[in-house]
Structure 1
Amino acid sequence: MNAQKTILCIEDEDDLRTDLAEELTAADYRVLQAANGSEALSLLEQNRPDLVLCDITMPGLGGYDVLRAMREQGELSDIPFIFLTALAERNDVLVGKQAGADDYLVKPIDYEILLATVAARLSQVERVKSGAVQRAEEAWQEILKSSRGRTVEALYKATFAFDRFLVGVVIVDENATVRLMNKEAERILGENDGLGIAQDALRGSVPRQNTKLLEGIKKAFEEEFLDEIVSFPRISGGRPYLVLIPGQRFSPEDKPEAVVLLLIDTEQRTKVSGDTLVRLYNLTPSETRVALMLIDGKRLDQIAEELEVAQTTVVFHLKNLFRKTDTNRQADLIRVLLSVPLRTTAD
């Protein structure tokens, strides 16, 4: 691990919280502890953890309250969030997923699976960020090559060449008024889920982030080298939108008449796709269902009950998953499943 990652553990049961902290510390993580949601939000005012583990049912502010508060704050909205809970029914898991949690682990906690899930989520965040920024930079370099004249007409021709990227391309003036956009940007802004167009200008639902956006756009008109990234949380929960603002002034005499912004929907790049698992490992439909349930933190008996099959059948599928993924332990299998290549538009 190149740099020690920080995990915020929110759990009202003192013994369990201590055990979690010890396991995470032994795995070389820095651990922050909170006994309830209020303590957690106070810690988050001064700290930005790399991942949050959070119980759902706690005195005062519960897990859903903490998740909602984090998703509404631009600086915290992209932090991976994992629920720890004894609520194991299918509907409970579904509600947690719909609230925007990245994972849902059921008590009693299997620490091997917990550590595998944490490691995989942190690794996935790095891949999402680096992959998204790399694709955006590729799009930006292509735009530069195609529009060195800096005219809106040249930008217009270049912008629509990038619908093959999972990157929205938007051309704006100094007031963030939208002049042009490609199809991916139209899709993102058309959802109006925390980032959209208001009075012809690019705007998000968080005023503080809008201020950062406008400041970044003004800098882009003046600076050649700039790498501003503004995060906009979704109103519906889930992963945020990112707006990348490259510097775009090439010389003191060459001020552009418009600048290019790059929009990234990180929600499109963080889900493990069943189709991807099938293609990578040649899984059967039943094996795929078992794999996705394992990713959701379900035990074998819970999988058997939900699929309405004998547990021996689930064990049979599990052995096939071990064979096809070249693993021999459940924790290793989950790490492999959570580390699959990110889904593509074909998924």
Structure 2
Amino acid sequence: MSACILCIEDEVTLLADLVEELNAAGYQVIAAHSADEALLLLEQQRPDLVLCDVMLGGDSARDGYFIYHYIREQRTDLADLPFIFLTALGQRSALLDAKRIGVDDYLVKPVDYDMLLATVSSRLAQVKRLNGYSLSRQGSFRERLQSIFAQLPGAVLLCDSAGQLLYANPMAQRLAQDEGVWTQDSRGRLCWLDITPGSLQTFQQYATELSAAASGERRVLALERYSHAGAVFISVLSLTSEVQALTDSTDNLLAVFVSCAQSRSLPELETLRLIFALTPTEARVALLLAQGQRTDEVALALGVSASTVAFHLRNLFSKTAVTRQADLVALVLSAGWALPDLSGAVALTP
């Protein structure tokens, strides 16, 4: 697919000429006559390069510098986007001002189209080369993280410091698809659904703090929900130094562990049986209790008497070293989060 150029120029004739030349060179072009039009296009599509007039009709509040600062300061998802100024101001001081703030290139009107196309091609090639190196290093690290997270029975999300969602393990995907706990916006950023503004603000604050924190630092938060469906409990872990050490990148990664009523995984029956040396019936009793059923409901579900359930419950207490039903349920739930399916494994006897 050819690169997409966002071209911003208030002179109608010049804008048409720029679009024609860039199209003829094989580029896709999205065009804007003003800063407002450009900002709207940036919400809808991600270009590969920006070519922008400095003056834009003389509106000093919404000129090319305004767009440049907006992209660099508010759109961190566009951090690698080359930005080229196009201007009638050819003075050395104007060029130095642009270079000092980080503008990638500076072309002076009247437009030399050969120079324009060479500059665009060079900047795009540079980004491709740098991104290729960075991605090859980051890709290996992220793949290792994803392979670990994929095996966890609990919900885990991986995102960067700007909130861009990079990975969601199977349980996290289920929370999005079936339960509507989270989603992605049009920019691919993580968005929590049905969460109160105060909780969202606290989450954003924690994410910002952890982006600059040492690796291993963690924040824990209960996200309150409008629907009264129970809070969403999250633990956000900074992976900053690991990313920098292994990829030579300044990107920060955050692992978000999610727990709510819909994500409390129960272990497989066979897994529970093997871990605690339970009989099949004892394992069924434990799982039914962990699902919130009362002992009389367990008896009805299994087609046995209440005294039989009480007998199995005493055996469960003995084998799991707990003394209360609530502790047994907590143990089963914790096993569900921590353990993969062990079906097919062989129980080891001392």
Q: TM-score range by the shorter chain?
A: 0.3 to 0.5
TM-score by length of structure 1 reads 0.43
Higher relative contact order structure (alpha carbons within 8 Å, sequence separation ≥ 6): 1
TM-score by length of structure 2 reads 0.43
